[in-house]
Amino acid sequence: MKADSEKRIIGICGSLRKGSFNRILLKAAQENAPIGMKIELYEEMASIPLFNEDLELETGGAPEVVRRLRDQVKQSHGILIVTPEYNQSIPGVLKNTIDWLSRFAPDDILDGKPVAIMGATPGRWGTRLSQAATRQTLFSTGTLLLPTPMMFVGEVAKLIDKDDRLIDERTLASLKKVLIAFSSWIELLENRASQSR
């Protein structure tokens, strides 16, 4: 991905539920993205089949829905993952999506790709275990994870209004801080890459 005046970010929600708290957080990120960053929400995760090497062979690499996602990721400057926590770990649909993206054919699109992770939960702990599992999974793919700041939104139901919009000022300030840090992280990695050429 070449340097660009606008950073195009693909936003992936680890929940399929339309009213998901994490989708609300992802939409808030989209609305509060810093100048020069555009977050595009990925909406086809429910259509991605379970990873199967037989299906990979039958389709010549990947089903069409996966090809579209791979192309979006390839054309993006980074990925923002917003995930819930299921049974103290990563949701199956998110792990499945990462498994498809991690395949090398026709090219390795995750290697060197900047990624930021955050999450929201009705409970107190803000998806800490899910984010840790997601980071572990992504570490093996060669993605370049934003080290800090990290964002764990607990008791999120208290932070949104009746229209399912995140309204808590403190949480919004933390969200903006993470997004600014992610933008700077992408710039740092791009500068390092250009200097090493």
- What domains appear along the chain, each with residue ranges and CATH number? 7-195 (3.40.50.360)
Residues of the chain with pLDDT under 70: 1-4, 105-106
How far is the C-alpha of 20 from the C-alpha of 159, rounded, in Å?
A: 14
- What percentage of the chain exceeds 70 in pLDDT? 96
How far is the C-alpha of 182 from the C-alpha of 92, rounded, in Å?
A: 25
pLDDT the model gives residue 130:
96
pLDDT the model gives residue 195:
83
pLDDT the model gives residue 4:
54
**What tokens were used for 131?**
């984010």
3-state secondary structure of 126: coil
Q: By the 8 A CB rule, do 86 and 93 touch?
A: no
pLDDT the model gives residue 5:
75
Q: Is 145 left (phi over 0), alpha (psi -120 to 50) or beta?
A: beta
